[in-house]
Chain A
């Protein structure tokens, strides 16, 4: 159990709870999270360990006392402590029991401490940044030039408190700048300027060299981040890359992936980034590289908390179906591991994740729990960095639920997420060889896009529908545009205001 985590909160009890209260609280939660009733529910397994650790601590009189006195000491010496809030909104608060499974959505938002926003300027977080740049043959010319300009600007943005390393890779990896504090900017820039385009693309080589450099200065007070920029596809080393990313994430490194042009593998970069809580972006023109990279690094240096993850333990009879982060950067998330890496929480923007659950048929009347959500992360400016927020979601099952409108935020996010899902399903249909189905789905998508006023994207969808009908294939460009543009539609849906 992590030192910063409050065992009282974990068990959901008051500080002065009696032994009986503690036991009762433990039994209540354990019944839901116990591995015996939860097969294939890694989130529950993880949370079960936490509550057991909390229970053991509180049942041991000595440890309980030392914990309590430490908390008091910390409160008096550590000065101001920041925290974040986990706010969870269900799509309905009361549901009718049905003889068939039904769906419920939860909107989980992680909000930074409002006090942190005022001090944003003062407390720039320190970066441990690694750029892993593709310099294969295809990057020759404008692309590589723009990347160099972007790298120069990033060096300018950084201070001597920040750590930078740069790797360039083709079929081999070369350390251009070994991890170092950014003090001699001219020398660093000169090294960047020497990059030449040649060779093929082997992402694993570059990535592993990048992880190695980043590890040298890896620290809890830093934003440890790797940016991978590539314009090509790598062959045969996807699995190795994802495995590497997973290990890196466990050590506290997040990875963002940027794909330039049309040839790179979007599924691969998406899963690479979402494994670590990073972001993946599609950069459609060389000139946009500079803006993308600069914005990205600026956001990083505005981090309030790092290594944020959301652990999701649905009740034994409830199933988590999908998760999608729609702020600050829209990204589909993998749910297989019971937790989601969310990367960094910025001081002025919330993280918001939409979760879809399936509830069982024939639920019995009364209140029942749906899922237990725990958001954990390291707050950079706190002495005791680890912090976690907890939310236990319950619904009322009743024959006559009060009329309620679904929350606007969920409705809006879902409406736009639906568009993203539609293009996804069109691609699935195409992958399984059903050309007619794919065409139909793309046409549906075009209609929906037009209805919300996204004319250009609607045209693109229709053009791709025609292309599919004739050639049974999407163009690389159209496919990526539809995928990433429908995803970006979600940006408008998220509420950027953290003050509400």
Chain B
């Protein structure tokens, strides 16, 4: 008998992919990915912001992401699509911005958590169906629905909080 390490389902010997959750079972099969930790319900909403930054994002602008508890901010020039997430040695999909150094695993960031899309002169933030949700200024995003990102916004991926500034 082989017990699935992900969902605990009891599979018969010889089965290669869990018949319950579809995960690979054998060492050579399993893309030994750590499942995203399910956190307790989200912390209470913070108060709405009084002022809003600009939504305009120029041609040559870049974004500066201050991750809470991190010493250095992350500066990046967003491409058409920038995926935020947690890289995993054997997951075939790599995020464009890997948050592992910022404690992504403990903070419940999914492997593919959210994405920033760049259109003509705005940025939008989309939750990619993450396990613990993406919050923009304290509001939880509906998966797959883009929301405009503004200068100074607070985003929260699982429990990982960051502030976004335009430059």
Contact = CB atoms under 8 A, between A and B. Distances in A.
A458 B129 contact: yes
B29 interface: yes
Contacts of B28: 405-406
Given A98-B13, A414-B17, A445 B128 contact: no
Contacts of B19: 421
A103 interface: yes
B14 A102 contact: yes
Interface string A404-446: 0110001100110011011000000000000000000000111
Given A411-B29, A451-B92, A91 B14 contact: yes
Nearest to A450: B112
Interface in B117-160: 128-129, 143-144
A27 interface: no
B14 A104 contact: yes
B42 interface: no
A459 interface: yes
A92 B18 CA distance: 18
B163 interface: no
A414 B14 contact: no
Nearest to B6: A444
B112 to A, nearest CB: 6
Contacts of A406: 16, 26, 28-29
A451 B111 contact: yes
Contacts of A358: 12
Nearest to A448: B22
Contacts of A336: none
Nearest to B15: A103
B93 interface: yes
B108 interface: no
Nearest to B24: A415
14 contacts: A95-B14, A101-B12, A102-B13, A102-B14, A104-B14, A405-B28, A406-B26, A415-B17, A415-B29, A444-B7, A444-B20, A451-B33, A458-B129, A462-B129
A100 B10 CA distance: 12
Nearest to B1: A100
A359 B21 CA distance: 23
The secondary structure that dominates the A interface is: helix
B93 A450 contact: yes
Q: Which 6 A-B pairs have the closest CB atoms?
A: A103-B14, A102-B13, A418-B17, A102-B14, A418-B22, A448-B22
Contact of A450 (B13, B14, B26, B129): B129
Contact of A102 (B12, B18, B92, B129): B12
Interface string B1-43: 1000001000011111111111110101101010000000000
A451 B16 contact: no
B89 interface: no
| A92, A444, A463: most-surrounded residue (chain B CB, <10 A) | A444
B77 interface: no
A286 B128 CA distance: 31
Given A414-B16, A446-B129, A462-B144, A452 B92 contact: yes
Contacts of B13: 98, 100, 102-103
Contacts of A448: 21-23
B62 interface: no
B54 interface: no
B22 A422 contact: yes
A415 B111 CA distance: 20
A459 B17 contact: no
Contacts of B128: 450, 455
Given A448-B23, A450-B112, A451-B93, 12 more contacts: A91-B14, A98-B13, A101-B12, A103-B14, A406-B28, A414-B17, A415-B17, A418-B22, A444-B20, A451-B33, A453-B92, A459-B144
B22 A92 contact: no
A451 B12 contact: no
Contact of B12 (A103, A405, A446): A103
B22 A462 contact: no
A448 B13 CA distance: 22
Contacts of A455: 128
Contacts of A459: 129, 143-144
A105 B15 CA distance: 9
B12 A100 contact: yes
